[in-house]
Amino acid sequence: MRNVFSGLITCCLLLVLSCAPRVTPESPLDIVFRKNYPLTYALEQNPSLVQADSTLQALARQKYEALSGAADGWEAVRQSRFSEEEMALSAARLGALAPQLPGLVSFLREKGYYSVFNDLPDDAFLEAAWKQDAEGMNHVLDVYALGESPRYAAIDRITASPDGQEMAYVRNLAWSNVLAVAKDRPFYALTLESALAWLDANDRFEAADFEPLENGINAKAYQAVGKTRWEQYPYSVILVLGCGPEREGEAISPQSRLRTKYAAQLYQDGKAPFIMVSGGRVHPFKTPYSEALEMKQYLISVCGIPEEAVIAEPHARHTTTNVRNAARMMLRLGIPGFGIITSGEEHINYVTGEGFLNKCSQEMLTVPFTLGTRLSPREVTFSPLPSAFQVTPLDPLDP
């Protein structure tokens, strides 16, 4: 009977995580949750199995009681975090549940969200995947509630002063909100809801920008991909690396204009059937302008490129994720072969240097592409690798 029950749970999880259309659209926080914490998102769709585990339920009660008894907002945030002991305990229990969730483990392996752990046996894979999720939640609390400096503080930091009166008031509100929504929920709920609350409080929904892309800014381009005769072109896409403006109120930088116009010429020369413009809402701090959207509009309105030939990748915040996110798109859409990366000469020198590959490994846990031929001072070829789908736990704005 237990095998039948666990099989039904696995089926439910896989159905929810599949591409079947939803009855109601995802909210921005739903999308942020799904992108950042895929394992936790899967468990949340049918939490019966983890709620039936006495150790995990005891942990849930313990954390809720600790949060309820916090002395102030600062302590409430700290109680919301997973301690090393709590993380290890919950990971071990999830690993023990692996035999009851073989379909879920297979699904997560196939999707590549935790590809750096794919060589581990199922129990160790689940443990490592959970620790990645938990560390990501802790990181959000450290940065957006406690004010610790993120890796790229100039663009990703907390909005208000962590020591100010405004943040003290927000901490108390967040504390009360989390207590209201996390009661009688699984062991991860309190930390998860705290992390999502603090992303919300800081208005950091960048990971959800323009989603779903296939129904919005990329609708025509995605339709065109399925009709493309790839053999007619030497390359599949021309990837333009964005460069955000530094002046307040400026929608597109001079560098992005010039890089984009150069890519338009490559397109008109027949190098590839699509231009992919990459860059999110990055510079200056909390800008309302998306690099990719502004470059796409520039290509259409100024350069005369057809809308269906321009794919916008509106989430990347760094050069590393420009290429990773392009690789993800190519794999998801079935775009074959090699693409061209183009930018300024100095930027392409950086991309082709050994330091860039090391940076990818350090920040994204993997190198999600292979570089090919340097075609010119401003162009180098690349092709995607399946490891591009690895989630980056310390980059919640573009995981």
User: Is 395 among the domain residues?
Assistant: no
Structural domain boundaries enclosing 369: 209-389
Supply 183's token pair.
Answer: 């009661």
Same domain, 228 and 129: no
User: Is 399 among the domain residues?
Assistant: no
Tens of pLDDT, residue by residue over 290-337, are 999 999 999 999 999 999 999 999 999 999 999 999 999 999 999 999
User: Is 342 among the domain residues?
Assistant: yes
Phi/psi for 244 (5° steps) reads -70, 150
User: Is 36 among the domain residues?
Assistant: yes
Supply 99's token pair.
Answer: 């035999």
Whole-prediction pTM: 0.93
Task: Determine the 3-state secondary structure of 276 from DSSP.
Answer: strand
Cα–Cα dist 314/325, whole Å: 9
Tens of pLDDT, residue by residue over 237-289, are 999 999 999 899 999 999 999 999 999 999 999 999 999 999 999 999 999 99
Same domain, 132 and 49: yes
Whose tokens are 């290429």? That residue is: 323
Tens of pLDDT, residue by residue over 341-394, are 999 999 999 999 989 999 999 999 999 999 999 999 999 999 999 999 999 999
Cα–Cα dist 194/175, whole Å: 8
**Residue 274 · residue 311 · CB < 8 Å:** yes
pLDDT of 12: 46
* Structural domain count, the chain: 2
Res 7 pLDDT > 50: no
Which of 184, 205, 226 terminates a domain? The answer is 205
Tens of pLDDT, residue by residue over 21-59, are 344 679 999 999 999 999 999 999 999 989 999 999 999
